[in-house]
């Protein structure tokens, strides 16, 4: 066989070889509990050939990417997952990332001392699911109706500027905006500690992507837990790495994490595994509340919501 034949044969074999698997596309945006993924990437726990983080500026953009099918997975709250499912997105929850215990807030100007003082005021909110859930909780606590306030739709990346420019009197927001506004004279009227267990952040995956990217999902979930360990053991360096993704200073990072819970591997197994996964029961309660408050048209099926097989084994 001459060299030309060898070259032609090599080209034929190369052309018949399977194309490399494209990366798993994971949408995310600035929220402290999601930054374990950015931290893991910065530490080399995965790379862009395996998992590609698609970074948006707010959760509306992230949810829209899910609906459009331009991403395979994403970091969302459970209530956002239910709204996506209502809109026809078939997904599974493979990881519980965090729970909010004060990081989601309603912040107001001086002079607005109580929730009842919101009557007649302009309240900025991103009308994605988490904003709607928080706003509903605030109105219920204040014994107000939506017509009693002036709702101003503002994406979270514009919350701080809208407040500082005087376009709103109060804002339904979350970290890192909370820390910015605390430093500019705003104060907290209400936070997620008043609605425990209602705002839980998860990694949700389109069902068709689970079959297409099992190795990448296994690597990503493992990287999240490695990043949690790194955050606990190397707090200063982790804070420095995370600060740039939250557009804040390293000194502000750890106080933000004090306002969220970060379930480890054993807790994730309890939430996602077993005959009756704990997350299913919690999500059913949340879904029924959302139906009553007309945030969902009807309850979505939850039988196959969780998929625990990508969780690493619990060390003995």
Query: 52-104, pLDDT tens digit by residue?
Result: 999 999 888 999 999 999 999 999 999 999 999 999 999 999 999 999 999 99
Are the C-beta atoms of residues 47 and 18 closer than 8 Å to each other? Answer: no
Name 75's bridge partners: 203
CA distances from 157 to 39, 154, 246, 259 (A): 21, 8, 11, 20
Domain shared by 38 and 178, yes or no:
no
Domain boundary (144, 167, 194) is at: 194
Residue 169 sits in which domain range?
A: 104-194
Domain shared by 188 and 204, yes or no:
no
Domain shared by 114 and 203, yes or no:
no
Q: Does some domain include residue 13? A: no
Task: Kindly indicate the confidence band of residue 128, based on its pLDDT and cuts at 50, 70 and 90.
Answer: low
Alpha carbon distance 189, 12 (integer Å): 68
Domain boundary (194, 226, 257) is at: 194
By the 10 Å C-beta count (0-12 exposed, 13-18 middle, 19+ buried), 294 is classed as: exposed
Alpha carbon distance 36, 45 (integer Å): 11
Domain shared by 144 and 277, yes or no:
no
Task: Kindly indicate the confidence band of residue 123, based on its pLDDT and cuts at 50, 70 and 90.
Answer: very high
Domain boundary (171, 194, 217) is at: 194
Q: How many domains would you assign to the chain?
A: 2
DSSP for residue 8: H
pTM of structure: 0.89
pLDDT tens sequence across 4-44: 443 444 444 444 434 447 899 999 999 999 999 999 999 99
Which CATH number covers residue 142? 3.40.190.10
Arithmetic mean of pLDDT, 141-159: 93
Q: Please name the residue that has the structure tokens 């009308």.
A: 127
């Amino acid at each position: 066989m001459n060299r030309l034949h060898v070259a032609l044969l090599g080209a034929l074999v190369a052309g018949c070889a399977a194309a490399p698997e494209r990366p798993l596309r994971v949408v995310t945006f600035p929220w402290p509990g999601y930054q374990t993924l950015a931290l893991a990437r910065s530490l080399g726990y995965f790379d862009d050939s395996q998992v590609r983080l698609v970074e948006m500026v707010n959760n509306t953009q992230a949810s829209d990417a899910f609906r459009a099918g331009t991403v395979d997975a994403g970091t969302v709250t459970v209530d956002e997952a239910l709204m996506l499912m209502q809109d026809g997105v078939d997904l599974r929850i493979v990881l519980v990332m965090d729970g909010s215990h004060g990081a989601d807030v309603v912040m107001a100007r001086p002079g607005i001392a109580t929730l009842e003082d919101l009557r007649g005021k302009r309240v900025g909110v991103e009308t994605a699911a988490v904003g709607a859930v928080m706003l509903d909780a605030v109105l219920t606590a204040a014994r107000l109706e939506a017509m009693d306030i002036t709702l101003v739709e503002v994406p979270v990346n514009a919350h701080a500027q809208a407040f500082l420019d005087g376009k709103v009197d109060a804002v339904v927001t979350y970290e890192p905006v909370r820390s910015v506004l605390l430093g500019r004279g705003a104060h907290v009227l209400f936070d997620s500690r008043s609605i425990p267990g209602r705002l839980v952040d998860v990694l949700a995956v389109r069902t068709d992507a689970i079959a297409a990217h099992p190795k990448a999902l296994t690597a990503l979930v493992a990287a999240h837990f490695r990043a949690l360990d790194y955050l606990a053991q190397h707090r200063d360096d982790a804070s420095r790495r995370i600060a740039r993704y939250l557009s804040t200073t390293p000194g502000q990072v750890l106080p933000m994490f004090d306002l969220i819970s970060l379930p480890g591997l054993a807790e994730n197994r309890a939430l996602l595994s077993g005959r009756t996964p704990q997350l299913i029961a919690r999500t059913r309660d949340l879904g029924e509340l959302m139906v009553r408050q007309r945030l969902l048209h009807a309850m979505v099926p939850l039988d196959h919501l969780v998929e625990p097989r990508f969780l690493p084994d619990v060390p003995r």
